Chains A and B, each alone.
Chain A
Amino acid sequence: MSNEPWTTRIARSRVWRSYFRHGWPDNPLDRSLVMTSGLFFHLHSVKSSRKSLRWSYSMGLGIMIVALFLILLFTGTLLMFYYIPSVEQAYPTMKEIQTAIPLGQFTRDMHRWAAQLMVLAVILHAARVFYTGAYKPPREFNWIIGVFLLLITLGASFTGYLLPWDQLSYWAITVGTNIAGYAPGIGDIVRALLLGGREVGQNALIRFYTLHIMVFPLLLIGIISYHLWRVRKDGGLAAQDADLGVDGDPSEAEATLVADTEQTASSGQPEIFPKNTSKTYGLVELMRGGSPMVGRGPEDTVFSFPVVLLLELALFLGTSLLLFVLSLLRHAPLGEIANPLVTVDPAKAPWYFVGLQELLEHMHPALAGILIPGILVIFLLTIPYLDNDRFGAGRWFTSTRGKRIALWTALYTAVVMPIYILLDNFIVPREILRGVAPEYVSQWLIPIVIIGVLVALPVLALRRWRPTPRETMLALFTVMFVAAVIFTLSGLLFRGPGFKLYWPWNMPGGYNPLSDL
């Protein structure tokens, strides 16, 4: 029949039918089938909640991370064709890639930028999940998985840092592994285990290489898959929970709901499963117990085909485009060949560890490099158990009060932390107390007290308003997050030669703090 649409003709062809078990997905039935019968598509649900598709909710960070990871796998594989992980060959092969191999420089640029962006995206994704309360039950465990993914991502990025074997990577790894060496009691062993010796050398290179190209990618593939699977098993994105409970600010919640209803009404679609109307439903079965999936739709959903797939495609292409542009704007740096005899000044850790390096300036290395990061990781892991109320998930800051708390705590941290850095830099307790008091007073006691007080202050102030556990968590997390940003910025931009404070645009010796990125 000639008058049928070309799509129908394609869907009726032998070739199409040999692969697909459904017709052209232009109707509800085939839109359902296309999602359940394809290998990649079936990772998605057939229908997606409108709310969880809102850009302002998830910002697409999770998908962006997957896109970056895939790009990393692809470009990394290409680089592996040429790169040789030996002290003698590493640097020359890097040079060859950048100068002799077609698109070699570009591939390396893409790989480098994707790695930097992935670390950034993972951190932002974690912050998004925290601030929308998506760690709350029943999603506690997926948050734990997420924390481990954050650590693995940092590990994957850090191990890649050494591979170019230039001065920058050599000294960054030296600084980084030195921090590990400060772990009380086991520091030396850990450091030796990482490097395969006392110094950064061939053993360290091959270890980092193996971790970087095999161990961490495999872990990431496995755990990211589990993380995504778990998202669906826990009932999808928490955005849908938003109107399940009474919200902290009902007027606002109501306003969103009204808007949604209008949207449904204007689209001419009949409302799906309305309550308290003359409409009745057959009660076809009763089951004991519940599950995170109960009550998920079908109202307020759209078919994942094609909306969600297009969003994913757009995110993937957008991420690729961003990497293209960044790669064209700025090449990945490759300095002089690594030389253990010539120290670079300043020797900075990768940007995501430079905050710790900054912290080192203010306290005992074991405290800054091991104890505080350890406490932070433990804090992250315990968040969903300290705040285990289901209420308030799926909304940014849970309520207007939560938003206010986050904002004020962020402002407070953004003010006190730079002051602390500056004061500690100009009135150095270690110098003042040298010989007056034992070292542990200046290196341990004073920093612990100051940091402890700075962190505790907003929480204590909050007690006046009888905060919920969620609000306490909001204050604590914000202090941690903003402090980390401040310390990272300070270490990255304001530390020059000798790791001394300068204005970024006024570094001595023409040092450009951004050149290490």
Chain B
Amino acid sequence: MPEERFQAFVPDFDYYRSLVACQFACPVGTDARGYVTAIARGEYEQAYRIAREVNPFASTCGWVCGAPCEAACRRGKIDSPVAIRALKRFVDDRYGVFWGEESDLPPLPWREQSPAGQSYTGVTIGLDLGNSDLPHGLRQLRRATDRREHTGKRVAVVGSGPAGLTCAHDLALLGHDVVIFEAASAPGGMLRLGVPEYRLPRDLIDLEIASILALGPELRLNQALGRDFSLADLRAEFDAVFLGIGTYQGRQLNVEGEELDGVLRAVDFLLNVNLGGYNLDLGRKVLVIGGGNVAMDVARTALRVGSPHSEASGDISLALDVARTAVRLGATEEVHCLVVEDRGEMLADPYEVQEAENEGVIIHNHVAPRRIRGQNGRAVAVETLDVARTFDDEGRFNPQLIEDTQRTWGCDSVIVSIGQTGELGWVQPEDGLEVTRRGTVAMDRKTLATTAPGVYVGGDIAFGPRLIINAVADGQRAARNMHIYLQKVEPRAVRKGWMTTIDLHDYPTRGPVPGYLRHPSKRPPEIPVDRRIGVSQVELAFSERDARVQGERCLVCTVNPVFDGDLCILCNGCVDVCPTDCLRLTPVDQVTGNETLAAVVEARLGTPLAAFHQGQMTQATAMLFDPTLCIRCALCAQRCPTDAITMETFRFSERIILEPEVSA
């Protein structure tokens, strides 16, 4: 029987980088740890700059980001994650586009009146707080703009969603002339059309877009690809093209009656509501089919339908008045959600489901629609069968229906929300553009280049529906690679990492804030359910006190205990004192790992690892560290009698240096 051993690895750059889980999880690499700790110390402006540096949609993300950072947050393993997104919104409200410094905005063509807010136009400098020195950081881009004349290259960006606008933002900073084509009458793409207004105020979207347009890109509204121009036209006029047109085609249920009046696709419904206002008539009883986040948005929006869209979107009292009128007029009274999956299998976040239920949405699990019944060409009921199980043994979506469990759900309208695909009717054979069976454009996942030279793609049309922040990341990556393509330069990645010792006397001020473990997690406040009407915001910002306390919950994962084996006397004090059991002193013969580990063992101890495994007489000891458990309390360093342990903070920079291509 092989002896049981500990699997170990040698920490390297990637390892220390991945320890900062929030930053590692963010598609654009936002240093969430950086702004959260800045908030904890009351440095709100710095916090906003850190968030904004890598993300032109920092304010939008503060309101509606899917927050992969929170899912990754190590604090979640102890109690619950730091409320990273809500903290970002807290600083957005002070320094972001919504309420920040006043600036001169150009008139916005899609609005009669400019929004009342102000835009942050302070110099966004990369603050060397740690890990903000990123390749697509605004500072690097600004520097690039300062260094270069206008390149004279012209780029077309199709679609003004988060991907297209981010791409335009970065390309403009890199010195290119950008023209944005938008099919709708207002820019923003899914930000505007897909996100309900009660989650994301329209003024905020407009301000964020306005500050991007202030960098130079030209916006052309009501210009649809395939209707007003073709890809060939763009390639003839521009040096490069970015396609960020999103996915606007709702998936089909493929059941009888889908074509009836009163059956809406989720995207069409949201489009209608978000462009046309809330005075849409859905009738009294609405059925929503689907169990994803979009379905939850649809259901919650449907509940609000009937209260006409108001200019004074934030004014709750007015919205309430309007809603009372709407109820008298016969607005939506009941919204049911028919979901094939079981409650635990639903694709929507549990929190979203809970919120929908709180607001009165009734969710029915394990029912599959079989037919939509009509009367006089209008949908009046949905017939369903119960579902025994949703997924088969291989984990594929393959619902097993139970015979003779037919149920009929009466309704005034049906909204089908089971996913979207791209609309690719505009693709011509001579474009040389490959498309996939999933209804997306084929591309190189690394550079986002399509099969057509000079044509790049990003956002939902490249990968299918994802989070806003993924689209932003696509826009940045596409811009970088388009720049490389246009300027014929060779990219070279330079990565540097530093470890800085934090003196233990300074640890209470520079490490986690004392008392950090005692603060319970708190969600931002919300308005009561009975006041959630129309477009009034559901979620409110943290108070300053709450924001600071929530910020103090951060474990500051850039900080790590670092060990000096020459000083260690193997007293085991650190192992003993560690509150989370993340250290272990282990005889080397009980450790195993890859070749790197074996090489390190041999280099450090002069004896091959294999010799230890075979029971070599020389004794040696390894310190093993389980970083997933560490809470950065520094007790190990305090306990260490020989100062062999220091708390060190990891900083890194990753930059892409562009050099003229060497002619072969």
Smallest beta-carbon distance A20→chain B, Å = 13
A28, A33, A46, A287, most chain B CB atoms within 10 A: A287
Determine the distance from Cα of A235 to Cα of B583 in the docked complex, in whole angstroms.
16
Q: Name the interface residues of A229-256: CB closer than 8 Å to any CB of B.
A: 235
Q: Is the CB of B597 within 8 A of A283?
A: yes
Known: A276-B4, A276-B7, A290-B619. A285 touches B563 (CB 8 A): yes
Smallest beta-carbon distance B610→chain A, Å = 15
**Which residue in chain A gives the minimum CB-CB distance to B582?**
A298
Determine the distance from Cα of A31 to Cα of B577 in the docked complex, in whole angstroms.
9
Interface on B for A, CB 8 Å cutoff?
Answer: 4-11, 15, 515, 517-518, 561-565, 568-572, 575-588, 590-591, 593, 597, 600-601, 604-605, 618-627, 631, 633, 635, 638-639
Q: Is the CB of B635 within 8 A of A293?
A: no
Further pairs besides A23-B515, A282-B625, A294-B621: 5, Cβ < 8 Å: A35-B577, A291-B569, A295-B585, A297-B581, A297-B584
B565: A residues at CB distance < 8 A: 285-288
Smallest beta-carbon distance B331→chain A, Å = 39
**Which residue in chain A gives the minimum CB-CB distance to B12?**
A282
Q: Is the CB of B587 within 8 A of A299?
A: no
Q: Is the CB of A294 within 8 A of B578?
A: no
Main secondary structure of the interface of B (DSSP, over half): mixed
Q: How many residues of A contact B (CB 8 A)?
A: 41
Q: Is the CB of B620 within 8 A of A293?
A: no
Determine the distance from Cα of A282 to Cα of B600 in the docked complex, in whole angstroms.
13
Q: Name the interface residues of A277-317: CB closer than 8 Å to any CB of B.
A: 277-291, 293-299, 301
A-B contact list, 26 entries, CB within 8 Å: A29-B579, A36-B638, A36-B639, A275-B4, A275-B6, A275-B590, A279-B7, A281-B584, A281-B625, A283-B597, A284-B624, A285-B563, A285-B622, A286-B601, A286-B621, A287-B570, A291-B569, A291-B621, A293-B571, A293-B575, A294-B585, A294-B586, A295-B584, A295-B586, A299-B581, A299-B584
Determine the distance from Cα of A31 to Cα of B4 in the docked complex, in whole angstroms.
32
Determine the distance from Cα of A411 to Cα of B655 in the docked complex, in whole angstroms.
81
Contact of A29 among B8, B571, B584, B631 (CB under 8 A): B631
Q: Is the CB of A286 within 8 A of B517?
A: no
Contact of B584 among A235, A273, A280 (CB under 8 A): A273
Number of A-B contacts (CB under 8 A): 167
Determine the distance from Cα of A45 to Cα of B591 in the docked complex, in whole angstroms.
26
Residue A272 lies at the interface, judged by CB distance under 8 Å to chain B: yes
**Which residue in chain B gives the minimum CB-CB distance to A288?**
B620
Determine the distance from Cα of A249 to Cα of B601 in the docked complex, in whole angstroms.
35
Residue A27 lies at the interface, judged by CB distance under 8 Å to chain B: yes
Contact of A289 among B570, B584, B624 (CB under 8 A): B570
A276: B residues at CB distance < 8 A: 4-5, 7
Smallest beta-carbon distance A11→chain B, Å = 9
Contact bitstring A1-44, B, C-beta under 8 A = 1, else 0: 00000001000000000000001000111011101100000000
Residue A395 lies at the interface, judged by CB distance under 8 Å to chain B: no
Known: A28-B580, A282-B15, A296-B585. A287 touches B572 (CB 8 A): no
B569: A residues at CB distance < 8 A: 291
Smallest beta-carbon distance A50→chain B, Å = 13
Residue A348 lies at the interface, judged by CB distance under 8 Å to chain B: no
Main secondary structure of the interface of A (DSSP, over half): loop
Smallest beta-carbon distance B573→chain A, Å = 8
**Which residue in chain B gives the minimum CB-CB distance to A304?**
B576
Smallest beta-carbon distance B304→chain A, Å = 34
A284: B residues at CB distance < 8 A: 11, 561-563, 623-625
Determine the distance from Cα of A455 to Cα of B125 in the docked complex, in whole angstroms.
88
**Which residue in chain A gives the minimum CB-CB distance to B560?**
A284
Determine the distance from Cα of A390 to Cα of B96 in the docked complex, in whole angstroms.
67
Q: Is the CB of B587 within 8 A of A290?
A: yes
A51: B residues at CB distance < 8 A: none
Q: Is the CB of B621 within 8 A of A45?
A: no
Known: A32-B578, A36-B635. A295 touches B622 (CB 8 A): no
A290: B residues at CB distance < 8 A: 570, 587, 619-621
B10: A residues at CB distance < 8 A: 282-283
Residue A212 lies at the interface, judged by CB distance under 8 Å to chain B: no
B562: A residues at CB distance < 8 A: 284
Smallest beta-carbon distance A426→chain B, Å = 60
Contact of A287 among B568, B627, B633 (CB under 8 A): B568
Contact of A280 among B9, B563, B601 (CB under 8 A): B9
Residue A47 lies at the interface, judged by CB distance under 8 Å to chain B: yes
A293: B residues at CB distance < 8 A: 570-572, 575, 585
The 6 A-B pairs of least Cβ separation, nearest first, read A293-B572, A28-B579, A285-B563, A298-B581, A291-B570, A290-B619
Determine the distance from Cα of A219 to Cα of B515 in the docked complex, in whole angstroms.
44
A301: B residues at CB distance < 8 A: 581
Q: Is the CB of A286 within 8 A of B11?
A: no
Q: Is the CB of A295 within 8 A of B11?
A: no
Determine the distance from Cα of A33 to Cα of B579 in the docked complex, in whole angstroms.
9
Q: Is the CB of A282 within 8 A of B515?
A: no
Contact of A282 among B8, B578, B585, B588 (CB under 8 A): B8
A278: B residues at CB distance < 8 A: 7
**Which residue in chain B gives the minimum CB-CB distance to A27?**
B517
**Which residue in chain A gives the minimum CB-CB distance to B603?**
A286
Smallest beta-carbon distance A317→chain B, Å = 27
A277: B residues at CB distance < 8 A: 7
**Which residue in chain B gives the minimum CB-CB distance to A291?**
B570
Known: A32-B579, A275-B4. A23 touches B624 (CB 8 A): no
B631: A residues at CB distance < 8 A: 29
A295: B residues at CB distance < 8 A: 584-587, 590
Q: Is the CB of A289 within 8 A of B619?
A: yes
Q: Is the CB of B6 within 8 A of A298?
A: no
B568: A residues at CB distance < 8 A: 285, 287
**Which residue in chain B gives the minimum CB-CB distance to A24?**
B518
Determine the distance from Cα of A278 to Cα of B7 in the docked complex, in whole angstroms.
8
B620: A residues at CB distance < 8 A: 286-290
Contact bitstring A439-473, B, C-beta under 8 A = 1, else 0: 00000000000000000000000000000000000
A276, A278, A281, most chain B CB atoms within 10 A: A281
Determine the distance from Cα of A403 to Cα of B601 in the docked complex, in whole angstroms.
42
**Which residue in chain A gives the minimum CB-CB distance to B607?**
A288
Determine the distance from Cα of A297 to Cα of B583 in the docked complex, in whole angstroms.
9
A285: B residues at CB distance < 8 A: 563-565, 568, 622-623
A27: B residues at CB distance < 8 A: 517-518, 579
A47: B residues at CB distance < 8 A: 576, 581
Determine the distance from Cα of A208 to Cα of B600 in the docked complex, in whole angstroms.
64
A291: B residues at CB distance < 8 A: 569-572, 621
B618: A residues at CB distance < 8 A: 288
Smallest beta-carbon distance A273→chain B, Å = 5
Determine the distance from Cα of A45 to Cα of B571 in the docked complex, in whole angstroms.
12
**Which residue in chain A gives the minimum CB-CB distance to B8?**
A283
Q: Is the CB of B587 within 8 A of A36?
A: no
B635: A residues at CB distance < 8 A: 29, 32-33, 36
Smallest beta-carbon distance A287→chain B, Å = 4
Q: Name the interface residues of A249-278: CB closer than 8 Å to any CB of B.
A: 272-273, 275-278
Smallest beta-carbon distance B550→chain A, Å = 15
Determine the distance from Cα of A204 to Cα of B565 in the docked complex, in whole angstroms.
58
**Which residue in chain A gives the minimum CB-CB distance to B515?**
A23
Q: Is the CB of B570 within 8 A of A273?
A: no
Q: Is the CB of B624 within 8 A of A283?
A: yes
Determine the distance from Cα of A284 to Cα of B584 in the docked complex, in whole angstroms.
10
B10, B515, B622, B627, most chain A CB atoms within 10 A: B622
B593: A residues at CB distance < 8 A: 280, 283
Determine the distance from Cα of A227 to Cα of B639 in the docked complex, in whole angstroms.
22
A29: B residues at CB distance < 8 A: 517, 579, 631, 633, 635
Contact of A297 among B570, B576, B588 (CB under 8 A): B576
Determine the distance from Cα of A294 to Cα of B635 in the docked complex, in whole angstroms.
19
Determine the distance from Cα of A272 to Cα of B626 in the docked complex, in whole angstroms.
10
Determine the distance from Cα of A28 to Cα of B624 in the docked complex, in whole angstroms.
20
Q: Is the CB of B577 within 8 A of A298?
A: no
A235: B residues at CB distance < 8 A: 572
Q: Is the CB of A286 within 8 A of B586?
A: no
Smallest beta-carbon distance B593→chain A, Å = 7
